[in-house]
Structure 1
Amino acid sequence: MTEANEPIVKYKRVLLKISGEALMGDQGYGLHPPTVERIAREVKSVRDLGVEICMVIGGGNIFRGLAGSAQGMERTTADYMGMLATVMNALAMQGALESMGVFTRVISAIPMDQVCEPYIRRRAVRHLEKKRVCIFAAGTGNPYFTTDTAATLRANEMSCEAIFKGTKVDGVYDMDPKKHAHAKRYDTVSYDEVLQKNLGVMDASAIALARDNNLPIIVFSLDEPGGFRGILAGQGTYTRVQG
């Protein structure tokens, strides 16, 4: 029985995917501690409802492999550098969450035992069952795959009920709402439509993997205070990508 002021959540286990840029606040680069803390509070508020949460955080605020490759760096090396950037972001988020009393595990696809756990699926599932927040770092451990694909892969492996993608806008639009005042937001959109219209929700590999496993993607604004908690209860503004 939930208390009157607590929402009834529709999901038991979810994955939250955010970009590295979400952690830099108004800065042009790096980590902005107050922003990291604000997002950590959002995660804690959902975990306090009894929802099991795992996370994937991009590394674009520190280094983006594709951008490095475009500037002449060998692609594989650039991608590995990007993976290491995601580990740095994951450790920052872990520090913020644990300062709030939330037990957290950083789990890396690239072994680095001194700073985080290696990825072992059954162990990660056990952490979630114990209500620990699991932050999956270093992508899939392979170059040429984005953190979007890593998020979809881990969400499927963890048997998550949905991926929640926190962005700067409150859903998926038919065109950039920051550039076009008449842009229209979708309430729901199919995986195939996202691919055909190149709507930019996630890269094509991630969308195809979600489609093949019938895993819904909820796109919402991470800048809206309390938005993550509210949307888990079916409130607020968002777009649902589904079959």
Structure 2
Amino acid sequence: MHVLLTAGPTYEPLDPVRFLGNRSTGKMGYALAEAFAAEGMQVTLISGPSALPDPVSPGIRTVRVETAAQMFAAAAEVAAAADVWVFAAAVADYRPAEVAVDKIKKSGDTLTLELVKNVDIAATLGQRKRPEQFAVGFALETTNELAHAQDKLRRKNFDLIVLNSLRDAGAGFGHDTNKVTVLDAAGQIVNFELQSKADVARGLVSLVLRYLNPTP
């Protein structure tokens, strides 16, 4: 079984030294790659900029990218052949309309940037998903968490969505722990209490396998 997995942030260049990004470290995505590999699956890990070293487990192929466009191109190359898609990356929604060739010099009291929307990787690939493929998305929300996650699950053709809330201490970006809620299209909810991201990853992989191989 082949798993396509995105992880980490994307960096959208503004000039040769600056970029727009976010605080994602890639820890959750990398932990998921290791957990899938431990179950004997082949994993293509498409990672945005992360300080984490490439996983060394057999079966994990790491593809390093920087921008949302690069991540989409890399994911689109392998999506058709993958059985499971997991979109754990924190992809930038917007990028600068123009990238300055030289460093932008400080002048005046304000700087106005024009931003344009990036491709929605999960939604675009979701339109191509075959019935036998299984897609898992992630949502990091600050308000109306369940409603936003359920809407995202429907719009992006996910089978499961993993909800993080910034209201939960020790969860989300930068932590070694996580606390998540998993929703499926039928409205069923599974809660994972605060624990290490490695343990959350193993629990999520076990849950995915239960959906892929349901018992009578």
TM over 0.5: no
- Larger helix fraction of residues: 1
By percentage of residues, which structure has more strand? 2
